[in-house]
Amino acid sequence: MTEKEKMLAGLLYDSCIDLLVNERLYAQDICFQLNQLSPLAVNQRLQLFQKLLGKTGKLFTIMPGFQCDYGYNIEIGENFFANFNCIMLDAAKITFGDNVLVAPNCGFYTSGHPTDSQTRSSGLEFAKPITIGNNVWIGGNVVILPNVTIGDNAVIAAGSIVDQDIPSNVVAMGTPCRVYKTLL
């Protein structure tokens, strides 16, 4: 099994092999281009995002300051909006449903490192997917960690750190993020 196959399977892998390094450099170059564009270069921005991301809806907006690891593991639905300074570490799949709003300074981190110091110092890491449902609103400065699913119609309050699944139709908040109330 190649290191990329291990990465995509959620196993420990070495991210420093040439193929993965080159794929990250390719994504970083596109992100650099995106973040240097004039706000008026709407069509060019759209084309670059469609080149970078694994799947997009027809209507979406991602504001400058966007960064990602690979790009091809990110899928966004219709009417997706990400505000300034969004970071997506997409060594595993990050999937967003339709009508998702992401406030400024949010991070989606599929990558993690072993807690065992000897394994961690060997350079191995892992990646687990993140899935965001339809009609979700994610407040400012939220961090979503590996292996998290957020259900449809959920609201994640600003400043939350999401380390476990959040069900549909709730408002969740805090560090760690927990359900605050159910929405009708």
pLDDT on residue 143: 98
Scored b (16 or more CB within 10 A) or e, 141-156 reads ebbbbbbbbbbebbbb
For 164, which DSSP code?
A: S
Task: Region of 100 please: left (phi>0), alpha (psi -120 to 50) or beta.
Answer: beta
pLDDT on residue 184: 79
Tens-level pLDDT at each residue, the chain (184 residues): 999 999 999 999 999 999 999 999 999 999 999 999 999 999 999 999 999 999 999 999 999 999 999 999 999 999 999 999 999 999 999 999 999 999 999 999 999 999 999 999 999 999 999 999 999 999 999 999 999 999 999 999 999 999 999 999 999 999 999 999 999 7
pLDDT on residue 103: 98
In this structure, what token pair is assigned to residue 118?
């000897």
Residue carrying structure tokens 């119609």: 153
Please return the burial class of 171, using the count of CB atoms within 10 Å of its CB with bins 0-12, 13-18 and 19+. middle
Q: Which residues constitute the domain of residue 34?
A: 3-182
In this structure, what token pair is assigned to residue 116?
């065992």
- Any bridge partners for residue 183, and if so which? none
pLDDT on residue 106: 98
Q: Please tell me which residue in 4, 6, 24, 113 is annotated as part of the active site.
A: 113
In this structure, what token pair is assigned to residue 161?
């750190």
Angle between helices 42-52 and 18-36 (to 10 degrees): 170
pLDDT on residue 16: 93
pLDDT on residue 89: 98
- 113 carries an active-site annotation: yes
Number of compact structural domains in the chain? 1
Output the domain CATH number for residue 142. Answer: 2.160.10.10
Measured CA to CA, the distance from residue 68 to residue 72 in angstroms comes to 10
